[in-house]
Chains A and B, each alone.
Chain A
């Protein structure tokens, strides 16, 4: 609808507006929506995080993500936290666009405050957080304005380990080991071999060692990864995100490879 009456057509004769009292607006330069250019929706990720890994174990779930936020191939921010505790029984881990993730962090924190102020004694668990996130993600993709992330949601739901995935398309699933990005190609085979059918016997120490090893493999092979990562754990003892852990690596093998290590001839 054009709301500028002068665009509707001038009155046919001066009878209707003898003294020219009818206001003549400045005609809009564009016949279309003037704000159209300002609305940007289709996007691409800018500052990105790489893989997130997560597994179920005997007492809960464990998640790992490195501390790098890349700007294309530039290792731009090397102290970014990509694991975020939500409430007292949930952790989310994000790969993809970090600004979209930080927006989600604020949204979730606000949601948790709103729920707390209800004062009904209820708190959102990982199943509810995952449902909420999947609705937000699917809603945004349906508006063709996605939040460019792959997210893992883990925690304890009614005392049982919960682990699920949601991405920018709203696709969801749950499994006992999940990884995003390159982790889904490189780490998943290692994680499935170690975790499947052992969810109820795998100890916290086993789980920690397993994720450590996978993060090392990823650091060797994923060019957008970092040798500094954090582990997030949810057990009946609560939620915790570790301090940064440094990966020890050995690049001696590269020595003899031309074009990889030092030039040999």
Chain B
């Protein structure tokens, strides 16, 4: 029998994860939500592609942004969409936003000991017609918020949002309190500024910007009329409406 006592167990474990860069962001208004993400996909210092979407339409009124390990992200979105289709067939209606949020938490926690390496942000319109953003950690902890940034440049963007959306560290002039929700054009401007800033200072952010806008039923679309590059995705009249806006970002 060969003497194997001295042999060290030598093995380089296969590491099943990687990071693919990029950043996502969502902001809720009173009766609308904006969900955005850049379109660069990278690994290390290499840009793999300049167009790989990270933001996905789930239902008439729900949009999911996924950031982190792209393979896990795409698979997770695929499975969420499948669960939503099953729900549609079983109940003859679309799953409401807060239920999708709970579904996502359950699906993420199911993988507690081999997690999806992704940060999720779910945005859309709630059953009461209000704009909503839900953000998740990789194992399913979640919270409803007014705004959230996640991904590679989240540390650059989130404090900017605290200042511009929550008016943190700002004192209102007497008798003019800060607004609870911002109007749509202001929100779009903040989203675009956030991404141009992140592109300037973070190498994994850039190439393209994709912004989904979900408007509550009956809301005026006037504010989107003169925005460049808008495309409507609404499939059913007399419901909530959905739009996507595409912008270029610096490619260096």
A-to-B contact residues, CB < 8 Å: 42-44, 134, 138, 141-142, 144, 146, 165, 169-175, 184-185, 188
Interface of B (DSSP majority class) = loop
Q: B135: CB under 8 A from chain A?
A: no
* Contact pick for A169, options B13, B18, B46, B52, CB 8 Å: B18
By the criterion CB–CB under 8 Å, are A43 and B43 in contact?
no
By the criterion CB–CB under 8 Å, are B14 and A165 in contact?
no
Stretch from B68-76, B163-171, B191-199, B212-220 at the A interface: B68-76
Q: Which residues of A contact B17 (CB under 8 A)?
A: 169
CB-CB nearest 9 A-B residue pairs: A170-B71, A175-B49, A173-B49, A171-B71, A42-B14, A173-B48, A173-B52, A141-B16, A173-B41
27 contacts between A and B (CB under 8 A): A42-B12, A42-B13, A43-B14, A44-B12, A134-B71, A138-B75, A141-B14, A142-B16, A142-B114, A144-B16, A146-B14, A146-B16, A165-B48, A169-B18, A170-B71, A170-B75, A171-B18, A171-B20, A171-B43, A171-B71, A172-B71, A174-B52, A175-B48, A175-B49, A175-B50, A184-B46, A188-B46
- How big is the B interface, by class? 20 to 34
Nearest chain A residue, comparing its CB with the CB of B51: A175
Q: B8: CB under 8 A from chain A?
A: no
* Contact pick for B46, options A42, A43, A172, A185, CB 8 Å: A185
Q: Say how far B140's CB is from chain A's closest CB, in angstroms.
A: 18
Total cross-chain contacts (CB, 8 A):
50
Interface of A (DSSP majority class) = mixed
In the assembled complex, the Cα of A172 lies from the Cα of B114 at a distance in Å of 20
Q: B180: CB under 8 A from chain A?
A: no
B-to-A contact residues, CB < 8 Å: 11-14, 16-18, 20, 41, 43, 46, 48-52, 69-71, 74-75, 114
* Contact pick for A171, options B11, B12, B70, CB 8 Å: B70
In the assembled complex, the Cα of A165 lies from the Cα of B51 at a distance in Å of 13
Q: Which residues of B contact A175 (CB under 8 A)?
A: 48-51
In the assembled complex, the Cα of A144 lies from the Cα of B41 at a distance in Å of 24
Q: Which residues of B contact A42 (CB under 8 A)?
A: 11-14
Nearest chain A residue, comparing its CB with the CB of B18: A169
Nearest chain B residue, comparing its CB with the CB of A175: B49
By the criterion CB–CB under 8 Å, are A169 and B50 in contact?
no
In the assembled complex, the Cα of A144 lies from the Cα of B11 at a distance in Å of 14
Q: Which residues of B contact A144 (CB under 8 A)?
A: 14, 16
In the assembled complex, the Cα of A134 lies from the Cα of B69 at a distance in Å of 15
* Contact pick for A173, options B13, B16, B69, B70, CB 8 Å: B70
In the assembled complex, the Cα of A165 lies from the Cα of B16 at a distance in Å of 17
By the criterion CB–CB under 8 Å, are B49 and A169 in contact?
no
Q: Which residues of A contact B16 (CB under 8 A)?
A: 141-142, 144, 146, 169
Q: Say how far A192's CB is from chain B's closest CB, in angstroms.
A: 9
In the assembled complex, the Cα of A65 lies from the Cα of B41 at a distance in Å of 24
In the assembled complex, the Cα of A172 lies from the Cα of B70 at a distance in Å of 8
In the assembled complex, the Cα of A43 lies from the Cα of B16 at a distance in Å of 12
Q: Which residues of A contact B50 (CB under 8 A)?
A: 175
Q: Say how far B66's CB is from chain A's closest CB, in angstroms.
A: 14
Q: Say how far B117's CB is from chain A's closest CB, in angstroms.
A: 10
In the assembled complex, the Cα of A175 lies from the Cα of B50 at a distance in Å of 8
Nearest chain B residue, comparing its CB with the CB of A168: B14
In the assembled complex, the Cα of A138 lies from the Cα of B116 at a distance in Å of 12
In the assembled complex, the Cα of A42 lies from the Cα of B43 at a distance in Å of 22
Nearest chain B residue, comparing its CB with the CB of A43: B14
Q: Which residues of A contact B114 (CB under 8 A)?
A: 142
In the assembled complex, the Cα of A184 lies from the Cα of B49 at a distance in Å of 11
Q: Which residues of B contact A146 (CB under 8 A)?
A: 14, 16
Q: Say how far A140's CB is from chain B's closest CB, in angstroms.
A: 10
